[in-house]
Structure 1
Amino acid sequence: MIQTLSTALLPILMIVAALSDLTSFRIPNWLTGLTALLFFPMAWLTGMPLGEFGWHLLAGGILFAAGFALFSFGVFGGGDAKMMAAAGLWFGTAQTMPFLVATVFAGGILAAAVALWSMFMAVVDIHGPNEDAGLVKVARKIKPKLPYGFALAVGAIVTYPHTWWMAGGA
């Protein structure tokens, strides 16, 4: 049962975060907090060595600092920054870079999709049959946003099979 939990818990939490971000452009604090807090009993229950535990804490701290910087510059939302740090606890320093690379790659694809959608909405606005149509009103008000929780989830799911939890550590 513990093995199943250590295998499935983070991916499930990241999928919930992605769905929340895709539907509301928000990753709730309870979800980022739960993701971070569940790392601690899972590390204990799976017998994570103290040295490994320290590397996981370091990764969470580094990603928290990076996320805070990205949030400060307006690149990330607060939920994205906190979820990235919470996920970092689960990855440790050994898998932090692969997680970030996969996340950035997924984020690039997401950004391209949002850009294409925005261009489509602009065309609808220009060539729309009715100036007062609901879709046109929405197109005018929308400022493209990236639900980066989706990219974080993709990065996490792609990287998770290579973590301590899955590589025989747990």
Structure 2
Amino acid sequence: MSVLLFAVFPLAMIFGALWDLTTMTIPNVLTAALAAAFFPLAFIAGFGWQEIGLHVGAGVLMLVVGMALFAFGWIGGGDAKFVAAIALWIGWADLLIYLLVASVLGGALTLFILFFRSLPLPAFMARREWILRLHDRKGGIPYGVALGLGGLFIFQHSIWLQAAVQAA
């Protein structure tokens, strides 16, 4: 069980970031699986009902905020759902730190992609559809990369890592 506690969240962060980078989407199945996996693993990690409720509250709040940002066209729908599932796992204790880290990473990612778009694309890169999409000046920013990297950063300080170590 310690492997599940240790692996599920980080693998979801990596898959979400890579998927968004290469397709500009975050699949609903990934977000739904991440949210669904929270509940059995929370019980395995020893969470009580109150703690689970607080984590659910953090996830619901981020879903509402994310959907509002999506409605304004500031983020994609996949990003809104992904950040809600991440908040479900993180809970209130680390949510503000996570949002700050993800925002800083998102700003750096945006600046890097804008710089990348200002350069001519080498021929070997022009053969990759996902690189062409990233290079397109009219294209969006794969913010799921920042959300996933922020999740990986916060995981090392999380109760999940502590629970995995104790279960081992």
TM norm structure 1: 0.84
Answer yes or no: is 1:146 the counterpart of 2:141.
yes
Against the structure 1 CA distance between its residues 112 and 62, is the aligned structure 2 distance closer, same or farther, given a 3 Å change threshold? same
Give the AA of the match of 2:102.
T
Displacement of 1:7 in angstroms is 1.6
CA drift of 1:167 comes to 3.5
Which residues of 2 match residues 71-150 of structure 1 at below 5 A? 71-121=70-120, 142-150=137-145
The offset of 1:66, in angstroms, is 1.3
Tell me if the contact between 1:114 and 1:144 (Cα under 8 Å) persists in the aligned partners: no
- Alpha-carbon distance between aligned partners in 2 of 1:149 and 1:141, rounded to the nearest angstrom: 18
Which residue type is aligned with residue 106 of structure 2? G
Aligned partners of 1:105 and 1:86: how far apart in 2?
20
Residues 56 and 89, structure 1, Cα contact 8 Å, conserved in 2: yes
| Residue equivalent to 1:167 | 162
Shift of residue 155, structure 1, vs aligned partner: 0.5
Distance (Å, rounded) in 2 between the aligned partners of 1:85 and 1:23: 21
| Alpha-carbon separation, structure 2, partners of 1:97 and 1:107 | 15
Letter paired with 1:12: L
Cα distance between partner residues in 2 of 1:141 and 1:164 = 40
Residue identity opposite 1:33 in structure 2: A
Partner AA of 1:36 in structure 2: A
5 Å-filtered alignment, 1:22-37, equals 22-37=21-36
Name the amino acid aligned to 1:38.
A
| Percent of residue pairs bearing the same amino acid type | 37
Q: Is the 8 A contact 2:113 2:141 kept in 1?
A: yes
Is the contact made by 1:106 and 1:151 (CA closer than 8 Å) also made in structure 2?
yes
Query: Any stretches of 5+ residues in structure 1 without a counterpart?
Result: 125-132
Q: What are the within-5 Å matches in structure 2 for residues 1-80 of structure 1?
A: 2-80=1-79
Is contact 2:10-2:151 (8 Å) kept?
yes
Match of residue 156 from structure 1 = 151
Number of residue-to-residue matches in the alignment: 158
* Paired letter, 1:100: L
- The one-letter code of the counterpart of 1:143 is K
